[in-house]
């Protein structure tokens, strides 16, 4: 076990005691010991931990023994912990003082979210990216979390923002990762409060965001569709064209099936996603494909859509290329991948001199086209598979004028 702790507030004797504990723990973990030797070294380690913890914990306290509750548990104050036994309380305090750097808790937080699946894998991957780029190499990451004070966090915030180096959105993304780590530490009684709470972030300066483009223009859409028809018609060129004739997520296109007897109607009943497993080194395994319900509440996201003739012709062409496939869009016998879909889309945009927008922005494009053509937001909502109108309004922009309903297939034809 690596000695990663160096606290200038420890006396030389206490630092030697800590180093001895590290050596004993390394011996227990790596050496071949019989039962008696294991018990002897374990007891020795606990005794030294108790001595070190007691010297730190009782330094400024009048009471020199841990508080024993009437129910047999043991309790500490400042920091406050409660444990079934004195030995377990000593271990909690030892972890509090020595075994919990911010990086340690970050890893625990990531593992907890991956195991419980309380957030999506995509969110976890994004948060890992933020940690690696903006936090991992900072002094804060190496500090014991119990030693981190609001001033330390504020110092990092000021380094990030400077005199307007990043946008507020970028700042909030980084801050949310720290928030999650500190909240995890509080909930697991590693610390008693989060040092990020109530920091005066209103004093920070932010860069004004660039106007973000969320949709292709009608002209760009027409250019792409025209150009794609001149290329070899494989599953990817056809899938990109198909995306412009409905309001689909790319995962829904990848997982699409089609009933040719009712060919102008498709049912969005599943999506194909690439999932990866979090590994011990905080990286993800190679992706494996999984069919799932469409994203969101299945009551809304499982839906039917009527296709324009151009969309139906694409499905017919795919049936010719892939007559026996379980899924409509398959390339060389394999399902499509989102990465390749977007890589192809980016390539074609570059060849046309069009600003590249990802597959998801095609949903913005088509929803906005419908709205501009007169379809009410409340009628676009079920086509998007949204459970609430507010999300739909985000897709179609901040428009409020309501107009008469217009048939989707005619608009996107």
The reply to whether 319 falls in a domain is: yes
Residues 403 and 344 in one domain: yes
The reply to whether 5 falls in a domain is: no
The reply to whether 3 falls in a domain is: no
**pTM beyond cutoff 0.85:** no
Residues 243 and 299 in one domain: yes
Question: Which CATH number goes with the domain that contains 283?
Answer: 1.10.443.10
User: Using the 8-state DSSP alphabet, how is residue 291 labeled?
Assistant: E
SS3 of 297-345: CHHHHCEEEECCHHHHHHHHHHHHHCCCCCCCCEECCEECCHHHHHHHH
Q: What is the mean pLDDT of residues 352-379?
A: 92
Spatial separation of the C-alpha atoms in residues 53 and 18, rounded to whole Å: 10
Q: For residue 62, name the pLDDT band (cuts at 50, 70, 90).
A: confident
Residues 19 and 162 in one domain: no
Residues 113 and 94 in one domain: no
User: Using the 8-state DSSP alphabet, how is residue 74 labeled?
Assistant: E
Residues 189 and 224 in one domain: no
Spatial separation of the C-alpha atoms in residues 33 and 339, rounded to whole Å: 51
Residues 171 and 234 in one domain: no
Give pLDDT, residue 354. Answer: 94
The reply to whether 6 falls in a domain is: no
Give pLDDT, residue 389. Answer: 92
Q: For residue 268, name the pLDDT band (cuts at 50, 70, 90).
A: very high
Lowest mean pLDDT among 40-54, 219-233, 234-248, 391-405: 391-405
Q: Domain tally for the chain? A: 3
Lowest mean pLDDT among 3-12, 73-82, 238-247: 3-12
Tell me the average pLDDT of the chain.
89
The reply to whether 212 falls in a domain is: no
The reply to whether 169 falls in a domain is: yes
198 pLDDT above the threshold of 80: yes
Give pLDDT, residue 239. Answer: 98
Spatial separation of the C-alpha atoms in residues 15 and 7, rounded to whole Å: 8
Residues 41 and 187 in one domain: no
8 A C-beta contact, residue 38 and residue 79: no
Distances (CA, A) of 291 to 84, 205, 274, 294, 396: 45, 44, 9, 9, 28
Give pLDDT, residue 409. Answer: 56
Per-residue pLDDT of 116-165, as tens digits, reads: 988 988 899 999 999 999 999 999 999 989 889 999 999 999 999 999 99
Residue bearing the bigger pLDDT, 409 or 158: 158
Residues 247 and 367 in one domain: yes
User: Using the 8-state DSSP alphabet, how is residue 138 labeled?
Assistant: S
Q: What's the angle, vertex CA 73, arms to CA 70 and CA 75, rounded to 5?
A: 100
Q: Which residues of 172-182 are buried (b: 16+ CB within 10 A; e: fewer)?
A: ebbbebbebbb
Q: What is the mean pLDDT of residues 43-62?
A: 92
Of 207, 238, 270, the position where a domain reaches its end is 207
Residues 187 and 155 in one domain: yes
Residues 69 and 181 in one domain: no
Q: Is the dihedral of CA 221, 379, 393, 274 positive or negative?
A: negative
Q: What is the mean pLDDT of residues 392-397?
A: 84
Give pLDDT, residue 398. Answer: 33
Q: Is the dihedral of CA 111, 273, 355, 331 positive or negative?
A: positive
To which H or E segment does residue 243 belong? helix 235-243
Residue 45 is part of which domain span? 12-99
329 pLDDT above the threshold of 50: yes
406 pLDDT above the threshold of 70: no
User: Using the 8-state DSSP alphabet, how is residue 191 labeled?
Assistant: S
At 212, list the tokens. Answer: 């973000």
Q: Is 139 helix (H, G, I), strand (E, B) or coil?
A: helix
Give pLDDT, residue 262. Answer: 85
Parallel, antiparallel, or unpaired: how do β-strands 205-207 and 163-167 relate?
parallel
45 pLDDT above the threshold of 70: yes
Of 207, 239, 272, the position where a domain reaches its end is 207
Of 150, 174, 207, the position where a domain reaches its end is 207
Question: Which CATH number goes with the domain that contains 190?
Answer: 1.10.150.130
Residues 107 and 232 in one domain: no
8 A C-beta contact, residue 167 and residue 124: no
Give pLDDT, residue 1. Answer: 38
The reply to whether 7 falls in a domain is: no
Q: For residue 411, name the pLDDT band (cuts at 50, 70, 90).
A: low
Residues 170 and 69 in one domain: no
The reply to whether 167 falls in a domain is: yes
């Amino acid at each position: 076990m690596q000695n990663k702790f160096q606290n200038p507030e420890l006396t030389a004797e206490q630092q030697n005691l800590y180093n001895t504990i590290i050596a004993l723990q390394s011996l227990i973990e790596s050496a071949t010991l019989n039962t008696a030797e294991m018990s002897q070294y374990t007891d020795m380690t606990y005794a030294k931990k108790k001595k070190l913890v007691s010297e730190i914990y009782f330094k400024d306290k009048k009471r020199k023994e841990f508080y024993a509750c009437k129910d047999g548990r043991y309790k500490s104050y400042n920091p406050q912990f409660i444990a079934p036994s004195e030995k377990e309380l000593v271990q909690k305090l030892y972890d509090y003082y020595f075994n919990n750097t911010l990086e340690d808790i970050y890893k625990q937080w990531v593992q907890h979210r991956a195991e419980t699946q309380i957030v999506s894998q995509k969110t976890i991957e994004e948060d890992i990216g933020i940690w690696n780029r903006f936090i991992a190499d900072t002094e804060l990451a190496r500090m014991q979390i119990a030693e981190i004070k609001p001033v330390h966090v504020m110092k990092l915030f000021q380094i990030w923002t400077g005199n307007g180096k990043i946008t507020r959105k970028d700042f909030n993304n980084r801050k949310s990762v720290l928030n999650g780590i500190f909240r995890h530490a509080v909930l697991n009684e590693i610390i008693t409060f989060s040092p990020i709470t109530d920091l005066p972030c209103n004093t920070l300066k932010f860069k004004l965001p660039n106007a973000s483009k969320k949709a292709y223009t009608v002209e760009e859409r027409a250019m792409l569709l025209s150009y794609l028809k001149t290329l070899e018609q494989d599953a990817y060129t056809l899938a990109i064209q198909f995306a412009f004739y409905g309001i689909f997520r790319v995962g829904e296109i990848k997982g699409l099936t089609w009933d040719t007897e009712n060919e102008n109607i498709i049912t969005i009943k599943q999506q194909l996603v690439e999932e990866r497993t979090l590994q011990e080194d905080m990286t993800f395994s190679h992706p494996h494909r999984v069919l799932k319900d469409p994203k969101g509440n299945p009551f809304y996201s499982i839906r039917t859509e009527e296709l324009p003739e151009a969309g139906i012709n694409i499905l017919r062409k795919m049936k010719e290329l892939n007559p026996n496939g379980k899924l409509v869009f398959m390339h060389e016998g394999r399902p499509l991948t989102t990465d390749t879909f977007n890589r192809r889309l980016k390539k074609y945009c570059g060849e046309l001199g069009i600003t590249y927008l990802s597959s998801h922005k095609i949903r913005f494009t088509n929803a906005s086209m419908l709205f501009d053509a007169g379809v009410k937001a409340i009628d676009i909502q079920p086509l998007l598979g949204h459970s609430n109108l507010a999300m739909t309004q985000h897709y179609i922009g901040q428009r409020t004028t309501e107009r008469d309903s217009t048939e989707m297939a005619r608009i996107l034809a």
